[in-house]
Chain A
Amino acid sequence: MTSTRTKKVSVTRSLLQRFAAAPYFFWAVLFIVIPLIFVAYYSFTDRDFAFTLENIKAFFTPKYLTILLRSVKLALLATLICLLIGYPAAYFIARTDPKKQKTLIMLIMLPMWMNFLIRTYAWMVLLQDTGIINGALESLGIGPMRMMYTEGAVVVGMVYDYLPYMILPIYSIMTKLDHRLVEAASDLGCNPFAVFRKVIVPQSLPGVVSGVMMVFVPSISTFYISRKLGGGNFYLIGDAIETQFNSNNLHMAAAISFVLMLLLLAGMFVMDRFSDNSSGGGLMP
């Protein structure tokens, strides 16, 4: 094949590709870029739409920083627990025979098909002072324990809601893991535990990175869960946005969102650097 010919082919293809991608491009501009511009615009303006830095400054006051810190703490805790539960779960699902895998993944995703308000209410019923769990504890003589309106309850809510987002990317990479590498490691002297540590864990890191981001991001900006399960004692950044929004201070709400978004982007960037997942396989590009 001559080089000019190759060139021609690639030109046609890229034109074609661009053409095919046009609707997505339009969609992305309409529903992602334009709203983002609005958020930025509102962040830097006051009620009269005059330029101001007051909203941003207001974020960096103890009031909001405390809320941010609390949000980060609870989200990290939820992410960590999701990882501890999700990683082994993904590993074992990927090891079961392929026919069962489908069912197991279905079961993991099933709760996601329910409205999250209902899921949250379900946890309220479970955790209440007079709830099912306390009822059981009481009959065992351990007595009712205070579970509702604690930090623990909020974290449980987050873990329950976002666990599938941890399991799915890790599972997807585990199924693609090259079994020959496992054999090679064991050939070179690794016992099963060493194989896990030296081959399976490093290979699954891109999935872990995706999972961590996909749990951490919604966890940190969650609202409602904290209000319902935390009883308003654990006001989170998501709640703060909602409050500002409801009290019609769109500019402050936008500023909080904007700063949070920048912080998350910075975090993702660092994560991406750190994981350097050239092998891919996770859900992140």
Chain B
Amino acid sequence: MNNSADKIIRLENIVKSFDDEMVLKRINLEIGDKEFVTLLGPSGCGKTTTLRIIGGFESPDEGVVYFDGKAVNDVPPYKRPVNTVFQKYALFPHLNVFENIAFGPKLKGASGPGLTAKVQEMLELVNLKGFEKRSISTLSGGQQQRVAIARALINEPRVLLLDEPLGALDLKLRKDMQLELKNIQQRMGITFVYVTHDQEEALSMSDIVVVMDNGEIQQIGTPEDIYNEPQNAFVADFIGESNILDGQMLDDYYVSFSGMKFRCLDSGFLKHEPVDVVVRPEDVDVVSPERGMLIGTVTSVTFKGVHFEIIVDIGGFKWMIQTTDYVENGSVIGLYIEPDAIHVMKKSEFSGMFGDYSTFSEEMEHLSDTEEPEEE
């Protein structure tokens, strides 16, 4: 982790309300120079608002925004070393693709063949070669999004703010652009503050992930930290699939849930402290009932390509388990859980909000996965 000397942006106790509704509740966040930081959270949790405060388009009701250690609350957007890829692109309809991308450099006096070459380079980067003469209204959403990326990147800002910049792209293009953006970020040494509600995107691209909900930061950490050591039930549920169980810490390294006692790697809790226990679906081994630490009945089996996703009823609690071995629907199986597959969390306001997989259905899953960031 960087020490605070090379933090380029610092948000201190940021509070922001719209119409008496507090949408940011004391946000504290440090962003290191040249870091790829992602704000991740469900729709309406305040990601865009946080980004707009960094960009200078919104001023916080309370708190201070620091750039390089200097408070910039009163610095207007055009004087900040920041460029933005807006959630709704915000391309200039009266200018064509070339003119849109050249907008920033032209303001700084660039012109002639140098500028043309630079714009061409950007167009190539975002896979839009030959589009320079096109008018904005003739572009698809995905193409507009890529023009918006090029328009911001060409300025080589120290910090680039990206608000769901790949939201309108199809899966294939999105994966390509993810790699491309990550490359650009590393090659040009730009600090990226990236907003998304796609957890896979966040985990695969970021140095640091900031999980937000309801105007509050739930956890800050590396993708591995966030996935393996979620701080509360919200994070565990939001990032990846999780079985979140009601448990009790018996002693250091011993926890009980589902009526059984398990060895684990967690310590430092009070004796008999109620806790939330997370077990990831891929960390559970399917074994014969005799060898199982837990025994249950399979209630659904779905083929997922690489693995099967099965739902297992154990004492009324429906577990989700991913396994490469085929099991028969309705069969009785045993589950084996290694100590390092168990993650114990303190109880939080989110405890009990995320139940088991009994209401789980493929359709629901599908819907929430393809949810477009169309609404505002």
Interface residues of A (CB under 8 A from B): 178, 180-181, 183-191, 194, 198-199, 202-203, 205, 278-279
Contacts and interface: CB of A to CB of B under 8 A. Distances in A.
| Closest 8 pairs (CB-CB, A-B) | A184-B90, A180-B90, A188-B104, A202-B94, A189-B107, A186-B77, A186-B78, A187-B84
A202 B94 CA distance: 7
B137 interface: yes
Given A188-B107, A189-B107, A189-B108, A279 B78 contact: no
A280 to B, nearest CB: 11
A188 B83 contact: yes
B208 to A, nearest CB: 23
B149 to A, nearest CB: 13
Given A188-B152, A205-B94, 5 more contacts: A180-B90, A183-B86, A189-B104, A199-B92, A202-B94
A183 B151 CA distance: 14
Contacts of B137: 278-279
Contacts of A198: 103
B76 A178 contact: no
B25 interface: no
A192 to B, nearest CB: 8
Contact of B94 (A180, A194, A203): A203
Contact of B92 (A181, A191, A278): A181
Interface string B74-115: 001110001110101011111000000001100110000000
B94 A279 contact: yes
9 contacts: A181-B90, A185-B103, A187-B82, A187-B84, A188-B83, A188-B104, A188-B107, A205-B94, A279-B94
A203 B137 CA distance: 14
Interface residues of B, number: 23
Interface of B: 55, 57, 76-78, 82-84, 86, 88, 90-94, 103-104, 107-108, 137, 151-152, 155
B86 A186 contact: no
The interface residues of chain A, by DSSP majority, are classed as helix
A183 B103 contact: no
Given A188-B104, A188-B155, A180 B86 contact: yes
Contact of B78 (A187, A199, A203): A187
A199 B77 CA distance: 16
Given A180-B86, A194-B107, A187 B92 contact: no
A205 B93 CA distance: 13
Contacts of A189: 78, 104, 107-108, 155
A187 B78 CA distance: 5
Contact of B90 (A178, A205, A279): A178
Nearest to A184: B90
Contacts of B90: 178, 180-181, 183-184
The residue in B77, B94, B103 that gathers the most chain A C-beta atoms within 10 A of its C-beta is: B94
A186 B104 contact: no
A278 B93 CA distance: 10
Contacts of B84: 184, 187
A7 to B, nearest CB: 25
A278 B90 CA distance: 18
A187 B83 contact: yes
Nearest to A188: B104
A183 B77 contact: yes
B94 A184 contact: no
Contacts of A279: 93-94, 137
